[in-house]
Amino acid sequence: MPTSDCILDDICVLDLSQEVAGPFCTKLLAGLGAEVIKVEPPGSGDVSRRLGPFVGEPPDAEHSALFLYLNTGKKSLTLDIHSPTGASIVQRLAQRCDILVESFAPGALDHLGLGYAALAPLHPGLIYTSVTPFGQTGPYRHYKGSELVVQALGALMHTIGLPDREPLKVGGYTALYTTGISAFSATMLALHVRESAGDGQHVDVSAMETMTVAQIHASIQHQFGRRPSRRASTLVRAQDGWVHPGLERGVRDDTWSRVCALIGRPELTTDPKFSTPEARREHQAELIAILEAWMTTRPKEEIYHTFQHLHSVAGYVATVADLYTSGQLGARDFFQTLTHPCAGTAQYPGAAFTMHGASWQHARAPLLGEHNVEIYGERLGYTSEDLAQLRGIGVI
């Protein structure tokens, strides 16, 4: 059992995943105190080390902002797992770990003797989490996927955009980060089951299925005979950005009259086009024009607080810069300052949740192969001569 306020400080994770979803899962495990050993190809490292944006010039493997974020708190081990020697080292490491996370195409690790079927007999308690675009089974299992592909095939994109235009992709790596959270949740559940039943298991995470769950509201509508459709924007332009006034639903009976008084249009209180939430939805374009005349002269955050105090379900579109000055995030110590020997000092987003009595571990991402001597030498007993030989033949 854990001996400190880090709830996973007795758990060791072998991270064979790359890019975004798998590494985000293991990042969360590291945040809860697990020791995460990240296995990277010699020389090149995780593919995310070659993806921008990069901190400073010239771009190199130690300056990828994506890698620096996704791999906080981990230990880096370089190893060619496709070589027979490398595969045997992975087997040895897996027997000393509680969790293995991988993102290879289904069947790829089976050919190396590193699939769940091969490792489970060596370590029956191993939790083996596979994170792929479409899962380990089904006709799509060998298809390649990407952020755009899984958003599209999971039908999330069908719900995004204007009604009379093409569907839009949600920005960034939304699908892959969400898949990483699914993998983290499922892995933690499997860990809980092992604590009570004693056995490990194979956790199969599909990015497409994660996205299908993400748009589940549209699926529910479809099941009950309604055709899901995209809606026009409800955002109103403010002086320095965009605001959602939140007057369509979930508001108190007196909210609309107080808003009318605020914007200097008390006569709208009894106007049948706006007097009910349903009427305001029906005449949304006209309502937006009325509100915009008042809002364009005021800052978005001021409008947000004012409308919230009137009990509307208001919000504003925050920029990334806004996040770093957010009073809410600041009060919860969300951003943490970390210093990396190559990339320097920066503020990193913290945990998406807190747990009473459990601390979140904030530590920088590793340099490529930074922990080779510690893991190979102290953990597996290799001598300096052994390591030189393995390095010479390209295994590490």
**Per-residue pLDDT at 163 exceeds 90:** no
Of 316, 343, 358, which closes a domain?
Answer: 316
Specify whether the CB–CB gap between 345 and 337 falls below 8 A: yes
Q: How do residues 253-264 score in pLDDT, each as one tens digit? A: 899 999 999 999
Examine the domain organization and report whether 192 and 296 are in the same domain: no
Kindly indicate the confidence band of residue 217, based on its pLDDT and cuts at 50, 70 and 90: low
Greatest C-alpha distance within the chain = 86
Mean pLDDT in residue range 51-77 = 93
> Do 24 and 166 fall within a single domain?
yes
Q: Is the pLDDT of residue 3 over 60?
A: no
Q: What confidence tens digit (pLDDT) does each residue in 124-158 have?
A: 999 999 999 999 999 999 999 999 999 999 999 98
Q: What CA–CA distance (Å, rounded) separates 172 from 79? A: 30
370: pLDDT confidence band, cut at 50, 70 and 90?
very high
Residue 159 has what pLDDT?
85
pLDDT at 220: 58
Instruction: Tell me the helix, strand and coil percentages in the chain, rounded to 5.
Output: 40, 15, 45
Same domain, 83 and 55: yes
Whether residues 259 and 112 share a domain: the answer is no
Span of 109-123, 159-173, 328-342 with lowest mean pLDDT: 159-173
Distance between CA atoms of residues 34 and 74, nearest Å: 9
Question: Residue 147 and residue 149: Cα distance in Å, rounded?
Answer: 6
| Phi (first) and psi of residue 12, to 5 degrees | -115, 135
Mean pLDDT, the chain, rounded, equals: 93
- 244 & 211 share domain: no
pLDDT of residue 374: 97
Let me know if residue 225 belongs to a domain: no
Retrieve residue 387's tokens.
């390591």
* Cβ count near 204 (within 10 Å): 19
pLDDT number for residue 228: 58
- Predicted confidence at residue 202, as pLDDT, reads 98
| pLDDT beyond 60 at 2 | no
Q: Is 226 among the domain residues?
A: no
Query: Residue 16 in 3-state DSSP?
Result: strand
Same domain, 106 and 210: yes
How many other CB atoms sit within 10 Å of the CB of residue 348? Answer: 17
Q: Tell me: the pLDDT tens digits for 70-83?
A: 999 999 999 999 99
Q: Which of 250, 281, 316 is the last residue of a domain?
A: 316
Could you tell me the pLDDT band of residue 162, with boundaries at 50, 70 and 90? confident
Is 138 part of a structural domain of the chain?
yes
Q: Which residue has the higher pLDDT, 298 or 59?
A: 298
176 plus 267 within the same structural domain: no
- Residue 196: phi and psi, rounded to 5, are -95, -35
Residue 287: the pLDDT is 95
* Residue 342 lies inside a defined structural domain of this protein: yes
SS3 75: strand
Q: Where are the alpha helices (DSSP H) in the chain?
A: 21-31, 65-70, 84-95, 116-119, 147-153, 174-197, 207-214, 216-223, 255-262, 277-282, 284-295, 300-309, 320-324, 327-331, 372, 384-392
How many structural domains comprise the chain? 2
Listed residues 287, 316, 345: the one ending a domain: 316
